[in-house]
């Protein structure tokens, strides 16, 4: 049985991916800041006969990202798949965006990587087409 950890799966691509892993009987952890949206994804997943583990957290904060990894390991053991679907939008130029974007994009992956290496696991990075429709001076990271 696969253990799958998600970063921000409360809507869109992340929620759809969580549901597909649930259909395959994977152990799924869904993570997000918005409890209402997480509960909606939880309800959608539960229809397929398996209940994901829900963690309310903001992985842009070091202590919360670490807690997500620790709670996932506590619940299911080491994950063998990490789906990095955490994204954000920041208004500004590319010159002002680099450090924050890189830190947020790498945080959960670097915390989970030491465990994924042990099980020869996989990190799946998800992006979106939102970057094609961005107004001037907006940058994002997925």
Q: Mind listing the pLDDT tens digit of every residue in the chain (142 residues)?
A: 556 655 556 678 888 888 998 998 888 999 888 999 999 999 999 999 999 999 999 887 889 888 988 998 899 888 788 887 766 555 555 555 545 454 555 555 567 777 888 888 888 877 666 555 555 544 444 4
CATH topology of domain 3-141: Rossmann fold (3.40.50)
Question: How many residues are listed for the chain in this entry?
Answer: 142
**Torsion of the alpha carbons at 16, 34, 68 and 87, rounded to the nearest 10:** 60
Instruction: Write out the two tokens for 1.
Output: 């049985």
pLDDT value of position 124: 80
CA 24 to centroid of chain Cα atoms: 18
Q: How far is CA 30 from the centre of its chain?
A: 7
Which pLDDT does position 134 carry in this prediction? 54
| 132-138 own/partner pairs: CB under 8 Å, 24+ apart | 137/91, 137/92, 137/93, 138/89, 138/90, 138/91, 138/92
């Amino acid at each position: 049985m696969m253990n799958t950890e998600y970063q921000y799966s409360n809507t869109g691509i992340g929620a759809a991916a969580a549901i597909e892993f649930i259909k395959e009987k994977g152990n799924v952890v869904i993570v997000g800041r918005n409890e209402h949206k997480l509960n909606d994804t939880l309800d959608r997943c539960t229809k397929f006969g398996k209940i994901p583990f829900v963690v309310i957290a903001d992985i842009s904060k070091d202590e919360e990202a670490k807690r997500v990894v620790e709670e996932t390991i506590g619940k299911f053991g080491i994950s063998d798949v990490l789906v990095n679907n955490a994204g954000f939008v920041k208004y500004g130029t590319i010159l002002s965006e680099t450090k924050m974007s890189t830190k947020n994009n790498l945080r959960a992956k670097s915390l989970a990587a030491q465990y994924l290496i042990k099980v020869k696991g996989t990190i799946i990075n998800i992006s979106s087409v939102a970057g094609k429709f961005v107004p001037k001076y907006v940058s994002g990271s997925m």
